[in-house]
């Protein structure tokens, strides 16, 4: 660096240079410092200097806040510097490292835009002559004062003091000390403008003396503050010791205050007589107890639970039926049966305010809106909402709570939910009640019997509280995917409302009204930036989803919205029209092919049945093949016991109708029959595939194809009687999704057709049958085996 300094001394400094104003720093001779350059005029000045001799005039501005200072707002004396390095930062600013070359004075301003360009004259340093005793004494004084100030400020550096002690020139010592003193800009500028080195050193000595006094006072203030802090700490420790002594003596004021505070809360809270009596009894026990006793904290927590529970706090129901119907329609499309039941409850509530809360159970496949419907019910009634998930719950204490004898005991989830809701009449939703379990810790489903029984839950007793709590005002709503796994006694206490799923038209309306607006909002784009007509929504529903609900449909719409969000974030404006090609580009090739291709696969031995699953209805393809053998029956496709029995019954029926089927004697003894249900990895069971297996078997025997566009559901007896089934609406929806328009159903299920929306009934033709002969007539036409053609 010294070599660099020697070189710059020999550099010719021109009389005209670009000038840059700096805000809050005064540059002294021999200084090397980094600067951040951000103002456009300053960046322009640096760029000009870099393109030439790298020299720049630096002057300090008088007003630090000014962004575009005029010439009169700048000091006249500054420093000519040379730029050693320059780096452009990502935000457009420059970081430069400069070396001070010489002190200079501005004589005139040659240019203002885009940056200052000024004429300068160098300020020559006066000669000091030989070092006298006075100069030596002054220099020693400055060195000592500098060391004291740095010591008081805690920034004493051996390296810096080594440099200070090595300087023998008064002017250079004054510049070095002045640049490290953290002086005000005016004081630093005064040092810079003093030409005489001795005068400059005396000025620095005076400023050092002043700074030394300030630093001494500052150090004293800090010392006093530390002493005050130490005193406060001592007082804190003494107080803690006093508190400990009071506790040992049983005379703790804070403990007494806690007791009084609990007493006030019990007095103010509206509590039933039995709860108030129990709270006061426990409070008296707590008052007689030592505060450090292990049971004291348990009793205090118990009393707080009594105070916090909403024993008599109820929210006011909104009994405006028109408004409630409007809220339900805003949140959910269709579901008329559910909405009608809610409005009926509100109507009864309006006429009889003492009616008990109903226990509704929404049963349906995933994605049909069971949980969100509970929230809509709470909003329509103006009640608080609390949701509890029962899936996988196995501990009875989750419902009834723990007894207070256990460590970490707490009330069950029912009372916790009421405390969280803050009222004793919220809409309390219990999700996945069909997935509740039981083990050695108890049976939660049995514990729910009391909770969900309107005749018992007005005196529900939690093990932790050990006193009755009235749950009769709570509106309990449970959800399930299926009812066969719900225990019978629990099922008996609930009013089941089935939500089978949505038709194509309903899904389209839901996507248009709810899902697409919600997804555009969640992905930060506007609804008018997405142009999607009904045919595209139909395409997404039929080719990319296969569900009873709309959860996957919303996911697919969300995927499209995210693709568009990226385009808009990258500068696109939209609106974007979604076509068949763009759907395949965004979502990939169709996941589900239409079942119209079933017609091309039609052949003897193939029949299409309808099955019910926990996620909605589904098609069931049953294939039968007859080969020479010894009369055995082979069943494949991971079938359950019920379906195996249905296959046996179908075979027995066919054998009993041998003559009608036109087969010779010994036909079944000389052939093996293989019945296969594809998708072998998926377990299949249920009493509704009997007639489908029988039709497939008859079709294989007679070598006749089943008529096109027919699906069927029903169980068959050995004598050919067709038995009723469940889940008719779900199965009808599955047929409609697959494009099948003719459905054979048991005669006894004809009454269930009223549950199917009129829109679906218009698109489907139902054939009620009571005997297997009718099914054969509808599917095969007759029993007669076609004549063998001569070769």
> 739-749, pLDDT tens digit by residue?
788 899 999 88
pLDDT tens-digit series, residues 496-535: 888 877 777 778 888 888 888 888 888 888 888 888 888 8
Pairing of strands 742-746, 765-769: parallel
* Distance from C-alpha of 294 to C-alpha of 272, rounded to nearest angstrom: 29
- What is residue 785's predicted lDDT score, i.e. its pLDDT? 44
Which of 445, 472, 688, 699 does the annotation list as catalytic? Answer: 688
- Smallest Cα–Cα separation from 373: which of 382, 362, 389, 383? 362
Q: Where are the alpha helices (DSSP H) in 183-320?
A: 185-193, 197-249, 253-268, 273-288, 294-308
Q: Give the residue carrying structure tokens 């408004």.
A: 323
- What is residue 1's predicted lDDT score, i.e. its pLDDT? 42
pLDDT tops 80 at residue 171: no
- What is residue 2's predicted lDDT score, i.e. its pLDDT? 47
Q: Where are the alpha helices (DSSP H) in 64-184?
A: 133-153, 158-166, 170-179
- What is residue 674's predicted lDDT score, i.e. its pLDDT? 92
- What is residue 255's predicted lDDT score, i.e. its pLDDT? 67
Tokens of 607: 């029949």
Phi–psi pair at 279, nearest 5 degrees? -65, -45
Q: What percent of the chain stands above pLDDT 90?
A: 2
- What is residue 596's predicted lDDT score, i.e. its pLDDT? 45
- What is residue 705's predicted lDDT score, i.e. its pLDDT? 86
- What is residue 351's predicted lDDT score, i.e. its pLDDT? 85
Q: To the nearest whole number, what is the mean pLDDT of the chain? A: 81
- What is residue 483's predicted lDDT score, i.e. its pLDDT? 81
- What is residue 790's predicted lDDT score, i.e. its pLDDT? 35
Q: Give the residue carrying structure tokens 């760029």.
A: 47
Report which DSSP code applies to 790.
Answer: P
- What average pLDDT score do residues 273-296 get? 81
pLDDT tops 80 at residue 289: no
pLDDT tens-digit series, residues 95-130: 889 888 888 888 888 888 888 888 888 888 777 667
**Taking the CA of residue 434 as centre, how many other CA atoms within 13 Å lie in the half-sphere pointing to its CB?**
15
* Distance from C-alpha of 690 to C-alpha of 611, rounded to nearest angstrom: 11
* Distance from C-alpha of 430 to C-alpha of 427, rounded to nearest angstrom: 10
Report which DSSP code applies to 678.
Answer: S
- What is residue 243's predicted lDDT score, i.e. its pLDDT? 64
* Distance from C-alpha of 408 to C-alpha of 395, rounded to nearest angstrom: 15
- What is residue 350's predicted lDDT score, i.e. its pLDDT? 81
Pairing of strands 359-363, 475-480: parallel
pLDDT tops 50 at residue 9: no
Report which DSSP code applies to 510.
Answer: H
pLDDT tens-digit series, residues 361-388: 888 888 888 888 888 888 888 889 999 8
pLDDT tens-digit series, residues 398-417: 888 888 877 778 888 888 89
Instruction: Identify whether 731 is a catalytic site residue.
Output: yes
CA distances to 594, 601, 692, 709 from 705, rounded to whole Å, are 21, 10, 13, 12
- What is residue 382's predicted lDDT score, i.e. its pLDDT? 85
CA distances to 227, 372, 491, 501, 583 from 549, rounded to whole Å, are 72, 13, 24, 5, 21
- Between the ranges 227-236, 497-506, 690-699, where is the mean pLDDT highest? 690-699
- What average pLDDT score do residues 674-684 get? 72
Please list, in sequence order, all residues whose beta carbon lies within 8 angstroms of the beta carbon of residue 125, skipping any fewer than 6 positions away.
103, 171, 195, 197
- What is residue 768's predicted lDDT score, i.e. its pLDDT? 92
* Residues 510/550, Cβ–Cβ less than 8 Å: yes
Which of 731, 742, 747, 789 does the annotation list as catalytic? Answer: 731
Cis bond leading into 114, ω under 30°? Answer: yes
- What average pLDDT score do residues 35-58 get? 87
* Distance from C-alpha of 695 to C-alpha of 201, rounded to nearest angstrom: 116
* pTM > 0.75: yes or no: no
Query: Listing from the earlier edge strand, what are the strands of the sheet with 765-769?
Result: 633-636, 671-676, 616-628, 606-613, 710-712, 742-746, 765-769
CA distances to 23, 84, 271, 312, 468 from 457, rounded to whole Å, are 77, 85, 18, 16, 9
- What average pLDDT score do residues 43-51 get? 87
Q: What percent of the chain stands above pLDDT 70?
A: 90
N residues, the chain: 791
- What is residue 257's predicted lDDT score, i.e. its pLDDT? 75
Q: Give the residue carrying structure tokens 């996988």.
A: 392
* Residues 409/455, Cβ–Cβ less than 8 Å: no
* Distance from C-alpha of 485 to C-alpha of 435, rounded to nearest angstrom: 8
Within 10 angstroms of residue 589's Cβ, the number of other Cβ atoms is 8
Phi–psi pair at 306, nearest 5 degrees? -60, -40
* Distance from C-alpha of 582 to C-alpha of 559, rounded to nearest angstrom: 12
* Distance from C-alpha of 439 to C-alpha of 454, rounded to nearest angstrom: 27
Is the Cα torsion angle 635, 636, 640, 646 positive or negative in sign?
negative
Q: How far is CA 134 from the centre of its chain?
A: 77
- Smallest Cα–Cα separation from 297: which of 404, 403, 414, 398? 404
- What average pLDDT score do residues 551-567 get? 88
- Smallest Cα–Cα separation from 544: which of 536, 556, 535? 556
**Taking the CA of residue 391 as centre, how many other CA atoms within 13 Å lie in the half-sphere pointing to its CB?**
7
Of 29 and 783, the structure prediction assigns the larger pLDDT to 29
């Amino acid at each position: 660096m010294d070599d660099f300094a020697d070189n710059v001394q020999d550099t010719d400094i021109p009389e005209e240079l670009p000038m840059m104003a700096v805000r809050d720093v005064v540059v002294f001779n021999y200084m090397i410092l980094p600067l951040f350059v951000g103002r456009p005029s300053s960046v322009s000045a640096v760029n000009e200097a870099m393109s030439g001799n790298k020299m720049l005039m630096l002057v300090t501005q008088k007003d630090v806040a000014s962004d575009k200072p005029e010439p009169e707002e700048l000091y006249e004396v500054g420093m000519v510097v040379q730029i050693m390095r320059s780096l452009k930062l990502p935000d457009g600013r420059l970081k430069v490292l400069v070396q001070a070359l010489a002190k200079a004075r501005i004589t005139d301003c040659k240019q203002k835009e885009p940056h200052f360009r000024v004429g300068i004259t160098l300020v020559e340093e006066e000669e000091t002559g030989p070092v006298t005793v006075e100069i030596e004494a002054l220099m020693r004084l400055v060195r000592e004062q500098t060391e004291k100030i740095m010591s008081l400020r805690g920034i004493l550096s051996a390296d810096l003091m080594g440099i200070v002690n090595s300087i023998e020139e008064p002017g250079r010592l004054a510049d070095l000390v002045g640049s490290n003193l953290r002086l005000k800009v005016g004081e630093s500028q005064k040092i810079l403008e003093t030409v005489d080195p001795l005068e400059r050193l005396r000025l620095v000595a005076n400023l050092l003396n002043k700074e030394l006094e300030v630093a001494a006072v500052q150090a004293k203030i800090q010392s006093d503050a530390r002493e005050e802090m130490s005193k406060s700490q001592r007082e804190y420790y003494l107080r803690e010791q006093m508190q400990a002594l009071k506790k040992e003596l049983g005379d703790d004021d804070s403990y007494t205050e806690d007791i009084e505070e609990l007493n006030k809360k019990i007095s103010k809270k509206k509590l039933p007589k039995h709860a108030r009596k129990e709270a006061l009894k426990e409070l008296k026990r707590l008052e007689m107890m030592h505060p450090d006793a292990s049971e004291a904290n348990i009793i205090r927590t118990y009393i707080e639970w009594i105070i916090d529970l909403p024993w008599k706090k109820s929210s006011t129901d909104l009994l405006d039926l028109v408004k409630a119907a409007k809220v339900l329609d805003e949140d959910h499309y269709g579901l008329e049966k559910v909405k009608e039941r809610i409005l009926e409850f509100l109507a009864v509530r309006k006429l009889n305010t003492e009616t008990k809360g109903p226990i509704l159970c929404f049963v349906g496949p995933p994605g049909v809106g069971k949980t969100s419907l509970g929230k809509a019910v709470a909003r329509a009634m103006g009640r608080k909402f609390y949701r509890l998930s029962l899936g996988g719950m196995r501990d009875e204490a989750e419902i009834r709570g723990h007894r207070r004898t256990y460590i970490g005991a707490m009330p069950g989830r029912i009372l916790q939910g009421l405390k969280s809701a803050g009222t004793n009449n919220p809409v309390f939703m219990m999700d996945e009640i069909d997935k509740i379990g039981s083990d050695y810790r108890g049976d939660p489903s049995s514990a729910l019997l009391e909770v969900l029984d309107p005749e018992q839950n007005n005196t529900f007793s939690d093990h932790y509280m050990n006193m009755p709590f009235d749950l009769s005002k709570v509106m309990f709503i449970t959800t399930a995917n299926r009812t066969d796994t719900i225990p019978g006694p629990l099922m008996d206490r609930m009013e089941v409302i089935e939500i089978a799923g949505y038709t194509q038209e309903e899904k389209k309306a839901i996507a248009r009204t709810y899902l697409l607006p919600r997804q555009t909002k969640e992905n930060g784009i506007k609804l008018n930036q997405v142009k999607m007509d009904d045919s595209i929504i139909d395409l997404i529903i039929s080719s990319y989803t296969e569900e009873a609900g709309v959860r996957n449909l919303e996911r697919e719409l969300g995927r499209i919205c995210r693709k568009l969000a990226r385009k808009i974030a990258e500068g696109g404006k939209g609106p974007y029209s979604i076509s068949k090609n763009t759907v395949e580009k965004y979502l990939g090739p169709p996941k589900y092919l239409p079942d119209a291709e079933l017609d091309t696969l039609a052949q003897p031995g193939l029949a299409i049945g309808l099955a019910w699953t926990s996620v909605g209805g589904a098609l069931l393809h049953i294939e039968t093949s007859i080969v020479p053998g010894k009369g055995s029956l082979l069943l494949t496709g991971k079938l359950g016991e019920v379906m195996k029995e249905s296959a046996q019954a179908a075979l027995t029926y066919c054998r009993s109708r041998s003559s009608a089927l036109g087969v010779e004697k010994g036909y079944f003894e000389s052939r093996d029959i293989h019945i296969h249900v594809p998708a072998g990895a998926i377990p299949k069971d249920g009493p509704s595939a009997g007639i489908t297996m029988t039709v497939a078997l008859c079709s294989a025997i007679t070598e006749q194809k089943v008529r096109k566009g027919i699906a069927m559901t029903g169980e068959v007896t050995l004598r050919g009687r067709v038995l009723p089934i469940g889940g008719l609406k779900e199965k009808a929806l599955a047929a409609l999704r697959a494009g099948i328009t003719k459905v054979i159903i048991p005669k006894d299920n004809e009454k269930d057709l009223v549950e199917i929306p009129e829109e679906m009934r218009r698109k489907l033709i139902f054939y009620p049958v009571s005997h297997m002969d009718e099914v054969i007539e509808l599917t095969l036409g007759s029993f007669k085996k076609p004549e063998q053609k001569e070769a």
